[in-house]
Amino acid sequence: MPPKLWAQIAVESNTYHRQSIPQRARAIWAQQRKGGGEVEDLGDIRRRLDGVEDIEAYEVLRVMALLIARILAPIRKGIAAHWSVAKVGAMPANRFGLFMSKNRFFHIMGYMHFSNNKSPKASTDRAWKIRPVVDVLQRTFARGYRVPPVISFDEATLPSRSRYNPTRQFNKDKPHKIEVYCGAKAHLRTPIAKDNNSGEAAVLRNVNALCPPSPTSPWRLVITDRFYTSVKLALELLHRRVYLTGTIQTDRSGYAKNVITKKKTRTVNKQNVMVPPQGTTKFAENKQFPQLTAVMWMDRLPVHMLSTGGSRRSSTVMRRVHGEMKAVPAPELVRDYHRWMGGVDVHDQLRMQRYSVQLAYKTRKYYKTLFRGLFDMALVNAFIVHRYYRKVNNKRPPKHFAFLETLMEQLLAIDSVEAFATIERATSAQERTAASPVRDGSTQRRNGDEGLAPIDADHRLEENPDTVDCEQGTKRRHRSCKVCGLFKVKPRKFTKYFCPECSTGNRRCVVPASVA
């Protein structure tokens, strides 16, 4: 999530605070009259509310860092207990007050906003409350995503019980019964059709976004569950050079009726035996499209599937039978489904069952709940990308707790407007998650350096003329990277290059040339 987004959140939060002053002042005035005590003048209340300091972007980051700290070390008494400094027995005193006062924290959480309520789009876009966040995450995730040959497609859920949430729905089969579906519905910018069965359109929309139709594009495989799979979707994807394998509802139009099987039992030697037995497979091939195959594979219950291009060769999958793991006969397309399906479920487990900012703090405003759910998604994706980066560089990947702990420490290190501005300047030229082509002339080799990082065209690099005496003689002075210093990155990076046009006096505009 780029610094510009946090700066926009701070601006919109201040705007929302100013818009809420008249209504908030009347509510405080009415409450004072009802209490029977001293009643302030309505104008004085407005001036007092208007005198609150504006929210800064670095403060929003600190609030999110404190929420991360809460999920790492939760207190059951409630979030306000994190500011308690009383020592009770073996319980340690809390440290939240060292980074932000409790009143300031709840002020920022209360007025946190992401878009202007008075915009004309607020009445037509049902996701307008969080539209800037959604758009930024869509772009960021897309830039950092390389389309693999096999795509697992499933819906993710954001728990929400707010009665004012226009996008929620009830699902009795989920751990969180009332939630917002991400991916199962049509895009929130468009009106929702009366027919809720919009899974096919969701798959086509996302496949088109990931890999646009092209006669020269490589063949890919999409794995779906029974919510999305249909014969019409399989044929449409086949024309787009995309195979499909997935479970299917047996009442879907066009599905082969002769493979539909129900579980039955019969008594053999005074024991109930499943009919057909586990591992039984039925196939049905479409006459007009031989690649289209309807499959019934018997597990504990009949599993009905649809596949285009899937292998029908006999194989085995490991299943638990009477408490023991055994190899059960199954076609290879079933094994492929077990291998590739479930990535979204693992993502949900990392996001909601381990460390969840969304579940750590509850609010009445549904859009704030959704924002924290999207923030959880960004955290999980960042954790996955960071682990991959460490692996490809032959470094030990961190545990989930250690990753969040380091992130919290780095966010809390941004303790001023100047520190946030430094981070914003350092990332504005490279607001991306994937590597981009290097500009012409932006990389140079000087004095044996391996190369420089892409530099913004506004900077002109020169070697630092300052020197320093050391045991080896006189050397050019190397400056420390401010970003590494703020984030406490180890090992820290140093550079001998700077931009003379941006420097004033002895203060050097240092470009981290040694950072690739």
Q: What is the pLDDT of residue 189?
A: 44
Q: Is 244 helix (H, G, I), strand (E, B) or coil?
A: strand
- 350-353's contacts with Cβ under 8 Å and 24+ in sequence apart are 350/380, 350/383, 350/400, 351/156, 351/376, 351/377, 351/379, 351/380, 352/159, 352/175, 352/176, 352/376
Cβ-contact 498, 479 below 8 angstroms: yes
Task: Tell me the pairing of strands 462-463 and 497-504.
Answer: antiparallel
Q: What is the pLDDT of residue 32?
A: 87
Residue 376, C-beta contacts closer than 8 angstroms, at least 6 positions apart: 351, 352, 356, 357, 358
CB-hemisphere CA count at 13 Å for 170? 2
Cβ-contact 187, 205 below 8 angstroms: yes
- For the four alpha carbons of 30, 33, 35 and 38, in that order, the dihedral sign comes to positive
Q: Whole-angstrom Cα distance, residue 187 to residue 176?
A: 22
Task: Tell me the pairing of strands 462-463 and 271-275.
Answer: unpaired
Letter for the amino acid at 51? G
Q: What is the pLDDT of residue 195?
A: 38
Whether pTM > 0.95 for this model: the answer is: no
Cβ-contact 424, 431 below 8 angstroms: no
Write down the residue that tokens 């050079």 correspond to.
241
Burial of 453 (0-12, 13-18, 19+ CB in 10 A): middle
Q: What is the pLDDT of residue 219?
A: 87
Which structure tokens are listed for 118? Answer: 């008075």
**H or E, element range at 352:** none
Which structure tokens are listed for 99? Answer: 């980074």
Q: What is the pLDDT of residue 199?
A: 58
Burial of 253 (0-12, 13-18, 19+ CB in 10 A): exposed
Q: Is 481 helix (H, G, I), strand (E, B) or coil?
A: coil
Residue ranges of the domains in the chain?
A: 3-124+366-425, 185-340, 439-510
DSSP secondary structure code for residue 20 in this structure: H
Q: Whole-angstrom Cα distance, residue 373 to residue 350?
A: 12
CB-hemisphere CA count at 13 Å for 226? 10
CB-hemisphere CA count at 13 Å for 143? 16
- Return per-residue pLDDT of the chain as tens, 516 residues: 888 899 999 999 999 999 988 888 999 888 888 877 788 888 888 999 988 899 999 999 999 999 999 989 888 888 888 888 887 777 777 888 889 999 999 999 999 999 988 888 888 888 888 899 989 988 888 877 777 888 887 776 776 666 665 555 555 555 544 444 444 433 444 443 333 335 567 677 777 776 677 777 788 888 888 888 888 888 888 888 889 898 998 888 888 888 888 877 777 666 776 777 888 888 888 888 888 899 999 888 889 999 998 888 888 888 888 788 888 899 999 988 888 886 666 776 777 777 888 888 888 888 888 888 899 889 988 998 898 888 888 899 889 999 999 999 999 998 888 888 888 887 764 454 444 333 333 333 333 333 334 444 455 667 777 777 777 777 777 776 655 555 555 566 677 777 776 665 555 555 443 333
Query: What is the chain's length?
Result: 516
Cβ-contact 306, 231 below 8 angstroms: yes
- Taking CA atoms, 337 is separated from 153, 257, 434, in Å, by 11, 22, 29
**Cis peptide leading into residue 276 (ω within 30°):** yes
Q: Is 289 helix (H, G, I), strand (E, B) or coil?
A: coil
Cβ-contact 198, 186 below 8 angstroms: yes
Letter for the amino acid at 304? H
The rounded radius of gyration (Å) of the Cα atoms in the chain is: 29
Task: Tell me the pairing of strands 150-152 and 220-224.
Answer: parallel
**H or E, element range at 424:** helix 417-428
Cβ-contact 95, 83 below 8 angstroms: no
Q: Whole-angstrom Cα distance, residue 221 to residue 241?
A: 9
